[in-house]
Structures are given as structure tokens and as C-alpha cells.
Structure 1
Amino acid sequence: MTTDSLEHLGKTLVIAPHPDDEVLGCGGTMARLADCGQEVHVGVVTKGYEPAFSSDSVERVRAELAEAHKILGVAQCHFLDLPAAALDTLAGAELNAAIGELVQQIAPDTLFLPFLGDIHRDHQLIFTAGLVAARPRGSETPRRIYTYETLSETNWAAPGVTEAFIPNVYFDIGQTIERKLKAFARFESQVKPFPDERSLRTIEALATVRGSTVFLPCAEAFMLLREIC
């Protein structure tokens, strides 16, 4: 499925397990949404804590994140500050409550979540908590829910054994791919040289492949989980 306008997505919330996941998965789409006047929010669920992560590295990544979001036109970023790479040490109710409160606060029309089949356990747990938060129990439930793919997480699992990412929605990012690449380039601590998957060349290559799938120059691909019309 391709779409000519993204105005119908309305206010949007992208849930990112870690800083930069949202740019990798949705950066071009986020820029398109901002360009057409829609409010784009990002919820970064985790924060690195010592001794696994130095406070200097955490502050550096957050500064990089702020610069990337300026490029994409993000309205606001929300930090939940749960422990990175350690969400499985928390009670499920704690994670559910944190994401649930964010979804309730923003009341998005559209919700983007990481993919269940990602190899990173944080991504898996956040996917489930996001669906709990988006249960249709009121008039302000998200009208549509998508999952996005994250290079070095989504395709490093074991399709056929674990959940496979099979996109059914493609958003044209031909006009915003350069901003996506520029935004990710701001993550100097995360960008890697090609052929690493977190290289700018690989990010552009994936956008090209996803675009060619639906006869577009560049696209981001998603799985639509639910849409209420």
C-alpha cells in the first residue's frame, strides 16, 4: 500500500526503545508528517546507567538526539528513563504503566512501535507494553498502530523461527530521505562505516529497496497492526 498524503495520520507518537531507533525506523515518515503540519512526538523509553553506560556517553547521545529531532521537525521528545538493556529486570506492570501514561498523556491518533521480532529484548518488551497501552478502551485510543523495522535489530533475529517482519504499508520518503540521513549523521557516536548496518549507505540502501518494492525511489516500510476507521 502506498499513500499520497500523511495528514490522515494526525498526531503521532513514535515509541523508541533507545535514542536513534526512531530515526532508523521512521525518520523519513516523521519528517513528512512534520512538513504537513502534524504533531510528532517521540517517547524514548530507556536510559543508560552506570556502570554499563557512562554518564558522559548518555549525555552525548541525548545531545545528538536533540539535533536529529530538530532536522526532522519533532514537536517534543519524552524520556521515560527506564534502564537500557535491562527492561527484563522490571516488573511487567511497571513498564506497562510507564508507556501507558505516555500514550494517555499524548493521546496520539497514530502510534509507531518497534517490531516484536527484533533481536533486542528491550524492543520486544516495549512492543507488548505499547499494545497494552493502546487497547481500545476509550475514545482516545490510537486509531492506527504500525510497527517499524530497525537496522541491526529487526533483521538479526531468525525469521522462520522468530517473528518475521513482513511489511504491508510503504510511505514514500523520496522527498525526506536526505533529512533522514542528515538526522542519523548527527548520531556521531552511533554511525558506523559501511558495510556496517548502521552506516548511512546502508540506511539509504534499505530505503531504496523498500521503495523499489512499490515502484518508488525511496520508502520506509511498516506493518499495520490495527486501524479504526
Structure 2
Amino acid sequence: MMLDRIERALVLAPHPDDEVLGCGGTIARLTALGRHVEVAVVTRGTAPRFAAEQVAAVRREAAAAHALLGVATTHYLDLPAVELDRVAQADINAAVRAALVASRADTLFVPFVGDLHRDHQLIFDAAMVAARPRGSDYPARVLAYETVSETNWAAPYLAPSFQPNVFIDVADTLDAKLNAFRCFESQCHAFPDERSIETLRALAMVRGSCVGRHAAEAFVLIREVG
């Protein structure tokens, strides 16, 4: 089982809450097993687009969510949110690489390259550079997670489609994931908004039913080195 091979994981979150939406149940499973999980929130909202009070509130929400899931360390890389396309790709690469090296992760969770949000795409690209299999300090496996209202909103047939080939059973940790997302009061909305508790539960049930489980999170395995 893949989880048996994961000792230290790093989850790259373009924005606070992406890590919970994409793999909150998996994080909870790993930490319940005594594994070390860190989260790197890559961007930070900046004025005038985001008020300082709003940014501080979201960080408090993230701290509460991460504590609930058992995240060991949260890194804030502080690159500009929704403006990553104005940052030199080399600088994004360097920031992601630094977080990866600091985490000493054997497993890297990344946003999917086909997500609608440009920040997600650029961070995926940076992760591929940071995790290049050179030397001996690269992660043994890289998995891309799905994010509601991003992964499924890209243009069909024009952007890469999310076709998962790894499913992690989160039946026992789904409630922990949903409670972690409830911590994000600024991001959690009423159904039928996709970023709702009902949608996350339904998606987990659908992904689980694909593989005969009550609930699962789905991933695209980018690479695994045995």
C-alpha cells in the first residue's frame, strides 16, 4: 500500500485551503499513522487586491485546520497570490525547492497542471523542477491532487484532464477533512457552491465508489521511484 511507503510528505498549496480540499483526508490518515506531514502555502494575498485583515484571517483559519489534521509544520513562501505570472519562474522554482529541501519529504503532493488557476499551473511546473530526480535528495514519489472549482473548470479537450490512477481510502478521516475545511470560514460556502461541505463529501463518495470504498481522495501519480 502506498501509504506504507510514505514517511515524510510535503503538500504544496497554491493558496490556503487547497491542501485541505485536495488531500485533507490523506493528510489525516498519514498523521494518524505517525507520519510527518508539512504544508507549504506558496502565495500570500497583497494589497490592494487583498486587505491585510483578510490575509491574517485566512492564516488563522489555516492554522486551525492544520492543527486539526496534525500538520507538523506550515511554510509560508509569500509569493504574490493571483500574480504569480508576474514572478520570474526561476524565483518560484527556488522558493518551492527550498521548502522541499527543508521538509526532507519522500513524497510531494502538488496541484494538478490542468487546473484553471494560473497559480496552480505555475506551482506544478516549479514542483517538477524542484523534484527533478538528480542526486539522492529528490522525493521518491510525486502525486497531483484535484481541487474543486479549479481542476474541473478548465476547458475540456484543451487543457489536460484529471484522470486519477491512485485512490486513497479516506472513509475514516473524511470527517476530519470536512471539519478542517469548516475552519476556513472565509472559503466555505453553502451548497450548491462547489466549495461546500456537501460537495466535498459527495466527491469523496464518488471517488471511493470508483474503487469499492465508501470515500476516497484521487490523485494522478506523476512519478514513483522504488
Mapped to 2, the partners of 1:65 and 1:104 lie a distance apart of 22
Mapped to 2, the partners of 1:134 and 1:122 lie a distance apart of 18
Deviation at residue 159 of structure 1 after TM alignment: 2.6
Mapped to 2, the partners of 1:64 and 1:185 lie a distance apart of 9
Mapped to 1, the partners of 2:176 and 2:95 lie a distance apart of 30
Mapped to 1, the partners of 2:198 and 2:165 lie a distance apart of 24
- Within the alignment, does 1:225 sit opposite 2:222 as a pair? yes
TM-score by length of 1: 0.97
Mapped to 2, the partners of 1:182 and 1:105 lie a distance apart of 28
Mapped to 2, the partners of 1:32 and 1:13 lie a distance apart of 14
Deviation at residue 161 of structure 1 after TM alignment: 1.1
Q: Is the 8 A contact 1:17 1:126 kept in 2?
A: yes
Partner of 2:73: 76
Partner of 1:12: 9
- Within the alignment, does 1:108 sit opposite 2:105 as a pair? yes
- Within the alignment, does 1:26 sit opposite 2:18 as a pair? no
Give the secondary structure class of the aligned counterpart of 1:6: helix
TM-score by length of 2: 0.99
Q: Is the 8 A contact 1:14 1:42 kept in 2?
A: yes
Partner of 2:40: 43
Partner of 2:59: 62
Deviation at residue 180 of structure 1 after TM alignment: 0.2
Partner of 1:212: 209
Structure 2's unaligned 5+ residue stretches are: none
Alignment of 1:139-158 (within 5 A): 139-158=136-155
The one-letter code sitting in structure 1 at the alignment partner of 2:133 is P
Q: Is the 8 A contact 1:172 1:218 kept in 2?
A: yes
Give the secondary structure class of the aligned counterpart of 2:120: helix
Mapped to 2, the partners of 1:10 and 1:112 lie a distance apart of 13
Q: Is the 8 A contact 1:7 1:36 kept in 2?
A: no
Mapped to 2, the partners of 1:107 and 1:130 lie a distance apart of 14
Structure 1's unaligned 5+ residue stretches are: none
The one-letter code sitting in structure 2 at the alignment partner of 1:197 is E
- Within the alignment, does 1:120 sit opposite 2:117 as a pair? yes
Q: Is the 8 A contact 1:208 1:219 kept in 2?
A: yes
Mapped to 2, the partners of 1:21 and 1:219 lie a distance apart of 17
Mapped to 1, the partners of 2:83 and 2:190 lie a distance apart of 28
Deviation at residue 7 of structure 1 after TM alignment: 2.9
Mapped to 2, the partners of 1:138 and 1:152 lie a distance apart of 37
The one-letter code sitting in structure 1 at the alignment partner of 2:41 is V
Give the secondary structure class of the aligned counterpart of 1:119: coil
Deviation at residue 124 of structure 1 after TM alignment: 0.1
Residue deviations 1:60-110 (CA, integer Å, cap 9, x gap): 000000000111010000000000000000111111111111111112100
- Within the alignment, does 1:162 sit opposite 2:155 as a pair? no
Give the secondary structure class of the aligned counterpart of 1:155: coil
Deviation at residue 49 of structure 1 after TM alignment: 0.4
Q: Is the 8 A contact 1:7 1:38 kept in 2?
A: no
Across the aligned residues of Structure 1 and Structure 2, the Cα RMSD in angstroms comes to 0.8
What's the % identity of the aligned pairs?
56
Deviation at residue 114 of structure 1 after TM alignment: 0.1
The one-letter code sitting in structure 1 at the alignment partner of 2:115 is D
Question: Please, which of 40, 49, 53 is the counterpart of residue 52 of structure 1?
Answer: 49
Deviation at residue 122 of structure 1 after TM alignment: 0.1
